[in-house]
Structure 1
Amino acid sequence: MEHYTGQADPLSFPEYVIDDWENVSEALADAGLNLAFTGHYHANDITEKEFENAKLYDIETGSLVTAPCPYRIVTLHGDNAAQVETRYITEIEASYTGGEDFQEYAQAFLYEGLLGIAQYSLVYQYGLDAATAGDLAPYVAKAFVAHYAGDEQADDETLNLINGFLSSTDATTQYLGQMLYALWTDLAPTDNRALISLDPKVELSVLGTYASNVFDEGAAEIVAFDPKTRRLFVSNANENTVDALDITNPVEPIKAFTIDLSPYGGGVNSVAVNGRIVAVAVEADVKQDSGTVAFFDTDGHFLNQITVGALPDMLTFTPDGRKVLVANEGEPNDDYTVDPEGSVSIIDISRGVWRARVKTAGFEKFNKCKDKLVTDGVRIFGPNATVAQDLEPEYIAVADDSSQAWVTLQENNAVAVLNIYSGRIVDILPLGVKDHGMTGNGIDASNKDDVINIANYNGVFGMFQPDAIAA
């Protein structure tokens, strides 16, 4: 399949795309093929094409003798997914590198080779004069180097050049701009690390609906499903309850019972279910005070109550069912006179809910690293706040082996890494910013003009501020 738009064009590299590739790929997908592994063309790229009844992924692996000298490790997760990881040759025993770092040598060697090919093509295929070809060849070579590496992103200089070509009235210049734009526009999915779904195309349809009859309030925010009882446990912040809905007949969901959470705190924030246990995160009457996790069985009977950090906003069971992890947001009051520390509580229920033990992982050790965290891109903004006070855990994803978790810090534009075994936060990872001047990163910057106007703005950057996360 084409790995960038126009690859099959006679002026590009049609020899690397099979004849009638669109119909052939559709026929293969319809026959049940999900993944195709291709090579020879030296790009480390993954592309997908969706047809009416199927989807096909073409995983192209770069050459070991062409930078960045990649190879792939593909892990199949049953029949449902394939995880693609890229590794690289980083060193070899050879004298011709002259002691230079192998990857740096390989990159320079590739660029020089592509530069010569680009100059030749621009003169003899595109009909440009030698001087113009010499000026443009570095941009073409740079585009192919980026495409070979995968996950390519153009800088501002390159984008401005491409936009200039695309707006030209000269057909050859326009075509060159289209080719460069295609090379720098990385088609989904990501190239070097990807989790690919192998499930057949899914179509959704509404079976049934349950109405809380509460409008514009948090009456059905979080839903947890118990397959054994066929019940949905739904957080109802408006009433400070968890509503249990029986969906034995999914066409007509029925409220089976309600769990009143007023004895345990001021407001429900999250609910999760595992086995016969329902765990509910409840904030205190005063948000800045310590909250609670209340445990019930799937029939709504109270089991235990554990004190956790301030404003427990989300909770989840570890895959092994032995622990419950709680994201304590630690949100300050409006005037910042009280600003509790954010944290993650680890509730060990391996000996039973009645004998549950809790350990809280905080961020105090990062207080002395505040300047470095800010420099690295972590947003710390509260007035006179320590790092531990300013970080606000929002959501948690847990590794399959229950050893590690990732915790989003939404207001801080970062993700924390939790070692569940040691009960410690081991790292804080800044997420950086999105350049809204780049092609594909446009935004509608105004809500006052009553029109949709997606545009790019040079010099404008936006934070990712992660909320939900999955692993």
Structure 2
Amino acid sequence: MNKFKRIISCVVAAAITMSAVQASALGSASAQGADASDIKINGFNNGKSTLDVQLKARYNSGVMDADGGCLEIVEYNEKNGYAYAVSGVKGNIVAVKTSDIGDSDKVIELSGAEYDVKSLLTGSTGIDGFVYGDTTSVAISPDGKKLAASVQHADYDKNGAVAVFDCEDNGNLTNPVLYSTGVQPDMVVFADCNTILTADEGEPREGYVDATDPAGTVTVINLNDKKSVSVGFDGFTAEELIGKNIIVGVNNGENIAPGTDLEPEYISVNSDGTFAYVALQEANAIAVFDITAKTFTDIFSAGFQDFGTIPVDIVEDDGYNPKTYENLVGARMPDGISVYENGGKTYVITANEGDAREWGDYCNEVKTKAITKKNIRVLDAELCAGLPEGKTIMFGGRSFTIYEVGENGLNVVYD
């Protein structure tokens, strides 16, 4: 995951509520936001779009960290009216009541309760030998009765964990149950009320020289039988993926095997909880996962954006000068992904961020003046197989894409 995501905010802006949350039996502590006298802020396009927004309230974590991770990933539980966010720095979940908001001329400062996930995992009733690394994501079950939080081990090549709680009507998190996951769980989602999935990136954070490249997996957790299983990509070959224009990493002149090369970034599940669509960002691909069978059924390229026909600003000079460039394309490399159904058809929506692989001395990004007079950052063709021939490839599509799920794969219907 791009590290800049973790620097986005140490403040959750909740446009809804104000209320204190009671400490729970899990050893939570009250976390009072700082006073503020901010004037309410309206959306720039209010009155000109289908959605008007206004900043009415917010919760301040009171934590600052140069590497970010102070407070991120917010999930709202519409059943009890609480928002839950994770703090990787503190190793906790914050519960903030966001229903029954009052009215004020100023932005309302909210209070919250902290639930210590770090101590839960590393204490006497935690997972044996687990060393806390980061709390990365949170999800609410469809019925609002459960909350799941994904946690990474401090060692980059060790299995992570998911903590599952009961969500009480008063916002409290109770009855924690712990499950093991694959390496580096970065995102968690409920497929249904009894099934949880995690995207386990398995990044080679210490490079490829005398170090481990962990397997990227999706972990399936069954709350009924209290078991978890991690599923990888060993059933695919690099040659198979290259033939589909999926980007495969190259190290020392050799294609890296999909079992370790592919890094699940984000998961979205269809409405009946049978299939999940998994963003494999650096590979510029989307995998299809059969939840019941616990297997990947296929992997499809996310495709490339043609900047020979679509104007784009590629020069990092603080200006905005969109142009078209012959033989320049963007690997979409989706990060966030969402699935929805309409008219009996299934669609996948992707946010095409783009991201490089940079671990230790290994980096698949180079700068070139082949397109413009100034250097631009592009994929290093010597470290990437599966690229379109005769093209210069940039990171990201500068767009979002809607794909229709068909019998033969994913078909672009909008970009």
* Contact 2:87–2:93 (Cα < 8 Å) also in 1: yes
Whether 1:454 and 2:326 are equivalent positions in the alignment is no
* 1:300 alignment counterpart: 173
Whether 1:310 and 2:183 are equivalent positions in the alignment is yes
* Contact 1:382–1:390 (Cα < 8 Å) also in 2: no
- When the two chains are superposed, the root-mean-square deviation of aligned CA atoms in Å is 2.1
* Contact 1:435–1:460 (Cα < 8 Å) also in 2: yes
* 2:269 alignment counterpart: 398
Equivalent residue letter for 1:206: L
Change beyond 3 A, Cα 1:404–1:231: same
Per-residue deviation, residues 82-129 of structure 1 (Å, max 9, x unmatched): xxxxxxxxxxxxxxxxxxxxxxxxxxxxxxxxxxxxxxxxxxxxxxxx
Q: CA deviation at 1:210?
A: 1.5
* 1:377 alignment counterpart: 245
* Aligned with 2:299 (options 404, 425, 428): 428
Which secondary structure does the structure 1 equivalent of 2:337 belong to?
Answer: coil
Whether 1:211 and 2:60 are equivalent positions in the alignment is yes
Q: Distance in 2 between matches of 1:339 and 1:394?
A: 16
Equivalent residue letter for 1:290: N
Q: CA deviation at 1:296?
A: 1.9
* Aligned with 1:357 (options 224, 227, 230): 227
Per-residue deviation, residues 295-342 of structure 1 (Å, max 9, x unmatched): 122323342111110000101001x31200111111112222210111
Equivalent residue letter for 1:430: S
* Contact 1:419–1:426 (Cα < 8 Å) also in 2: yes
Q: Distance in 2 between matches of 1:223 and 1:290?
A: 24
Alignment of 1:56-67 (within 5 A): none
Change beyond 3 A, Cα 1:303–1:382: farther
Per-residue deviation, residues 343-396 of structure 1 (Å, max 9, x unmatched): 1111111x2xxx411122211110xx3112113211111525311100000111
Change beyond 3 A, Cα 1:212–1:54: closer
Whether 1:245 and 2:96 are equivalent positions in the alignment is yes
Per-residue deviation, residues 148-173 of structure 1 (Å, max 9, x unmatched): xxxxxxxxxxxxxxxxxxxxxxxxxx
Alignment of 1:141-180 (within 5 A): none
Q: CA deviation at 1:454?
A: 1.4
* 1:125 alignment counterpart: none
Alignment of 1:2-401 (within 5 A): 201-215=50-64, 217-250=68-101, 251-264=108-121, 265-274=132-141, 275-298=144-167, 299-318=172-191, 320-336=192-208, 337-349=211-223, 351=224, 355-366=225-236, 369-383=237-251, 385-401=256-272
Q: CA deviation at 1:262?
A: 4.3
* Contact 2:74–2:83 (Cα < 8 Å) also in 1: yes
Change beyond 3 A, Cα 1:246–1:256: farther
Whether 1:445 and 2:314 are equivalent positions in the alignment is yes
Q: Distance in 2 between matches of 1:252 and 1:263?
A: 29
Equivalent residue letter for 2:73: I
Q: Distance in 1 between matches of 2:203 and 2:120?
A: 22
Q: Distance in 1 between matches of 2:69 and 2:278?
A: 23
Q: CA deviation at 1:252?
A: 4.2
Q: Distance in 1 between matches of 2:76 and 2:48?
A: 29
* Contact 2:60–2:109 (Cα < 8 Å) also in 1: no
Q: Distance in 2 between matches of 1:333 and 1:469?
A: 24
Q: Normalising to structure 2: TM-score of the pair?
A: 0.61
Structure number with higher helix proportion: 1
* 1:470 alignment counterpart: 338
Which secondary structure does the structure 2 equivalent of 1:239 belong to?
Answer: coil
Which secondary structure does the structure 1 equivalent of 2:336 belong to?
Answer: coil
More displaced 10-residue stretch of structure 1: 336-345 or 263-272: 263-272
For the pair shown, the structure with the greater C-alpha radius of gyration is 1
* 2:22 alignment counterpart: none
Q: Distance in 1 between matches of 2:79 and 2:94?
A: 17
* 1:32 alignment counterpart: none
* Contact 1:246–1:256 (Cα < 8 Å) also in 2: no
Q: CA deviation at 1:256?
A: 2.5
Structure number with higher strand proportion: 2
* 1:71 alignment counterpart: none
Equivalent residue letter for 1:271: V
Which stretches in structure 2 are left out of the alignment for 5+ residues? 1-45, 102-107, 122-131, 340-415
Equivalent residue letter for 2:215: E
* 2:365 alignment counterpart: none
Which secondary structure does the structure 1 equivalent of 2:60 belong to?
Answer: coil
More displaced 10-residue stretch of structure 1: 388-397 or 211-220: 211-220
Q: Distance in 1 between matches of 2:61 and 2:235?
A: 44
Q: CA deviation at 1:240?
A: 1.9
Q: Distance in 1 between matches of 2:147 and 2:318?
A: 45
Q: Distance in 2 between matches of 1:243 and 1:464?
A: 34
Equivalent residue letter for 2:164: F
* Contact 2:145–2:166 (Cα < 8 Å) also in 1: yes
Q: Distance in 1 between matches of 2:299 and 2:110?
A: 42
Which secondary structure does the structure 2 equivalent of 1:316 belong to?
Answer: strand
Q: Distance in 1 between matches of 2:290 and 2:315?
A: 42
* Contact 2:312–2:323 (Cα < 8 Å) also in 1: yes
**Percent of counterpart pairs with the same letter?**
30
More displaced 10-residue stretch of structure 1: 202-211 or 425-434: 202-211
Q: Normalising to structure 1: TM-score of the pair?
A: 0.54
